[in-house]
Chain A
Amino acid sequence: MRILFFSVATLLLLLLGCKPTQSLISFPLEEERTMDTIFVSANELDIESPELLDETGEEEQIAATNYELPAFNASQTRTHDLLHTKLEVSFNWEKATSEWKSLFEDEATFLCY
């Protein structure tokens, strides 16, 4: 219903806004979009998948389990404020040479404060 509301409302606005010399604007009726906010909707799952069909066959229950959130890579939650990093490093070229998987070996100290 919400989708239809947005589509009809937008279409009406555009129709009302048309000038006589302008052609009718056409676009998909079920476009779901707002131009001034990010709109994220749940994706519909494949209802043909047997594991997603509910046992009772009730439509409402199917609808309730029929969506999943899209992938979302959230920003790192910051728990601490890292102020400074101090490093001391030296390299062992020989070990890097003798054992390829140990390309790097350092004796390092790390100080955060």
Chain B
Amino acid sequence: MKPLFYATNEVTLDAKGFEFKQLSFAGKSDNLKYQYDGQQVKIDLGKTFTRKDTFELFFDYVATPEQSGGSDAITSDKGLFFINADGTEDKPQQIWTQGETENNSRWFPTFDKPNERCTQEIYITVQDKYKTLSNGLLTKSTKNADGTRTDYWKMDQPHAPYLFMLAVGDFAVVQDRWKDIPLEYYVEPKVPRTGQRDIFSSYPLKMLGVLFRIKLGCKNIHGKKYSQVVVRDYVSGAMENTSAVVFGEFMQGDKDFLMDNLTNEKVVAHEMFHHWFGDYVTCESWANLTMNEGFANYSEYLWLEHKYGKDDADYHWLQELRGYLGQGETLPLIRYGYGDKEEMFDAHSYNKGGMVLHMLRQLVGDEAFFAALNLYLTRNAYTEVEADELRLAFEDITGRDLIWFFDQWYFNAGHPVLDITYGYDAASKMVSVAVEQQQKGDQIPPIFQIPTTIDIYLGEGKKISKEVLVNQRKQFFEFEVPNAPKLVNFNSDKKLLAVVEENKSDEEYVFQYYNAPTYLDRYEALQALGESESPLASSVFQAALDDKFYGLRELAVYQVNINNETIQKKAIYLAENDPKAAVRRAALEQLSSVEGEDFSALFERVIKNDVAASVKTAARLAVSDRYAATDNLQYLTFFEENWDKVDNYDAIAFFRNYAALAAKGDVTQIQSSADKLKVIAVKESSIWKRFSAMNAIFGMHTLLAQQMEEDATKATTFKALDDNLLQMIQDIKSQEKDSQLQQVYNARFN
């Protein structure tokens, strides 16, 4: 350590909840004087050091990490977590850390800010049965006389303190390699060996290496190896600790679960891309978080585009847009005025950050985009960055001034809200496009500069493309054409982050669906036609059931009139034969909503034959809906045989249906069913299932209460039973250890 510039005789480090035994210069036994407030330690160095001096500090301490808060993105700030420390819970024993934002200073003293960085060594002593993981390379492993083992991890490239990590546990470790980069997958031993690679998408990972390294022109990955570990009870989704990425349990599933599941691949891409944008080059402060997260977010688009094609990538882009708009407020991407640093982890830093990069790529072209990223990374390697460093790299590569772009997208808030009015004058053969920018609000530019393209479709396969620059509040464009257009399409590349209203007719949307090139064109057409009563619309939706992109087939399934016999036949076909699980599931859900028709045989075939867990679950839910509507208590067996196969959000409806059916039984039956639900509510490892079972018991109580209120004789019959259910609810609440679930229970089940 050394003074950065100014001479000083003191140093202050972040060190939260420590008990110091010794605090001295390295190799000295005399303690230095210090002041400690439980959060920071201010050390009197005893003499003045200049920037030419280097000194070493030694700490011997006990750290006791405790939680003082958390956020939506990272639910606990404890920093270091013991999982099942006493071994009494039905889960593996583990220790793992979560540094971001400033929580690693709960287990080691440091300058816990993103604009700091250093190299790292860590000696981890554990019982020999445990595996360890940390940043960099495992350089040495020594067995000790007391039966423990000490692993020595060395990270000789500097990185920010929030990226330090360690993990300890009974992991199965799969060794892999992509060219010169060692790859490791740490998963629970229960995962079948064949599935261990599936979890981390081994081939995609290799392809990520190909894609990102080639695209970015970087030879190495930060940390010299790439390990990924799944831990229990993780407090976020995943974390890009340099060369040792942590994932939550969602990553760990069998092949059925992983079928058609792009989430895992996207998360792998996200964390890997962070190794350049976040780890190698780091945001200068949390106000600049999008310099990390915007890039990681955009990597998901890049990966999907590379592996699956533009339609899949644009489908993802649309989800990102919805996420951003769903935040419901408009803020600058770079904002120093946040209330709490955790607020920065929002749909602006992530979604909008990624979409702005997408527009920047469109603006400068692919070759310049990736060349500029390479320059940005090379120039700023191992340093902290602000948005201006990115701008300068792009300006140096392209020769263009890009202040206007960065100003409006990074330092101002909002996005264009556009009203587009198309017109055609037959006499003059002029197409007109009137663009009005309607956005307003604090820090939102009244005028965005928007370079974009207008496509004019003339029929018979002819199309004219006009590049325009929208840079006024109200603007009017005119184009001479040889004949009346079939369609005029503003923002035809569909890369603009904007909310757009247009005056297209049904006929024009139909033409757009069949003739415009992108998924987003076809999606836009279907969305607009979904609100139309025109027969044209229904014919397009039928055609869309055979769209080349599954996202539109799925949308069409939900939009068609499922009560039509022809449509039903098509839906039955899709439910069993569409190559994409999302479409099969959508078809099942639609068919299950048809009244007066029994598709039970289809649902049972799907449960038996489909390979994707999500589709089987949809079939089980469809069956459960049917059974819950009957009075046949024999169907309870179906629920009890299948409830271990239904999880996450789907479990809520499945268990609710079980309760609805069981509540039609006598006192003995209801009590028996409630007892079974209580076991799940208390012992099940999935919080979704625990909640679902609890919710089902509460549902039984609600149904009984209604009956007792309506019928005095039932009040006598059910009183003791209902008291039992209420007692069960209290028991379950008292035994629940998950803090989030406790909050839900207290709010919902009183």
Contact = CB atoms under 8 A, between A and B. Distances in A.
Interface stretch (A46-54, A59-67, A83-91): A83-91
A24 interface: yes
Nearest to A28: B446
Nearest to A83: B118
B403 A36 contact: yes
A101 B54 CA distance: 38
Contact of A108 (B63, B85, B412): B63
Nearest to B109: A110
Contacts of B8: 79-80
Nearest to A105: B62
Contact of B95 (A24, A91, A112): A91
Contacts of B60: 107-109
Interface in B290-317: none
A87 to B, nearest CB: 4
A33 B404 CA distance: 13
Given A75-B115, A82-B116, A105-B62, A70 B57 contact: no
Interface string B462-487: 00000000001111101000000000
A12 to B, nearest CB: 15
B408 A35 contact: yes
A113 B55 contact: yes
B286 interface: yes
B82 interface: yes
Given A79-B4, A105-B62, A23 B95 contact: no
Contacts of B148: 90
A4 interface: no
Contacts of B718: none
Nearest to A89: B124
A104 B121 contact: no
A58 interface: no
B115 A76 contact: yes
Interface centre among A70, A75, A96 (most CB of B within 10 A): A75
Contacts of B287: 73, 75
A70 B287 CA distance: 14
Interface residues of A, number: 53
B86 interface: yes
B211 interface: no
Contacts of B109: 110
Interface string B88-114: 000001010000000000011111010
Interface residues of B, number: 80
B61 interface: yes
A104 B119 contact: no
A80 B440 CA distance: 44
A108 B59 CA distance: 8
Contacts of A111: 26, 56-59
Interface string B63-88: 11110000000000010111001110
A91 B65 contact: no
A100 to B, nearest CB: 9
A104 B407 contact: no
B4 to A, nearest CB: 5
A83 B473 contact: no
B638 interface: no
A45 interface: no
Contacts of B285: 73-76
B419 to A, nearest CB: 12
Nearest to B112: A76
Given A72-B337, A97-B85, A110 B118 contact: no
B26 A75 contact: no
B228 to A, nearest CB: 22
Contacts of A101: 64, 66
A36 B404 contact: yes
A10 to B, nearest CB: 10
Contacts of B108: 85, 87, 108, 110
A73 B284 CA distance: 12
Contact of A33 (B4, B119, B338, B445): B445
A71 B116 CA distance: 23
Contact of B119 (A79, A83, A108): A83
A113 B59 CA distance: 12
B215 to A, nearest CB: 30
B122 interface: yes
A110 B62 CA distance: 11
Contacts of B478: 21
Nearest to A100: B85
B166 interface: yes
B551 interface: no
A14 B447 CA distance: 11
Contacts of B434: 23
A106 B57 contact: no
B239 to A, nearest CB: 18
Contacts of A75: 113, 115, 284-285, 287
A24 B474 contact: yes
Most chain B CB within 10 A, of A74, A90, A96, is at A90
Contact of B411 (A38, A105, A113): A38
B184 to A, nearest CB: 21
A46 B56 CA distance: 52
A84 B120 contact: yes
B1 A80 contact: yes
A42 interface: no
A25 to B, nearest CB: 4
A63 B55 CA distance: 51
A35 B407 contact: yes
B336 A96 contact: no
A73 B116 contact: no
A22 interface: yes
Contact of A87 (B121, B337, B475): B121
Interface of B: 1-4, 6, 8, 11-12, 26, 54-66, 78, 80-82, 85-87, 93, 95, 107-111, 113, 115-126, 148, 161, 164, 166, 168, 284-287, 336-339, 341, 403-404, 407-408, 411-412, 434, 440, 445-447, 472-476, 478
Interface of A: 14, 18, 21-28, 31, 33, 35-38, 70-76, 78-91, 93, 96-97, 101-113
23 contacts: A22-B475, A23-B434, A36-B403, A37-B407, A71-B336, A71-B338, A73-B336, A76-B111, A81-B2, A82-B1, A83-B119, A85-B161, A86-B121, A86-B122, A87-B108, A89-B125, A103-B81, A108-B60, A108-B62, A108-B107, A110-B57, A110-B61, A113-B56
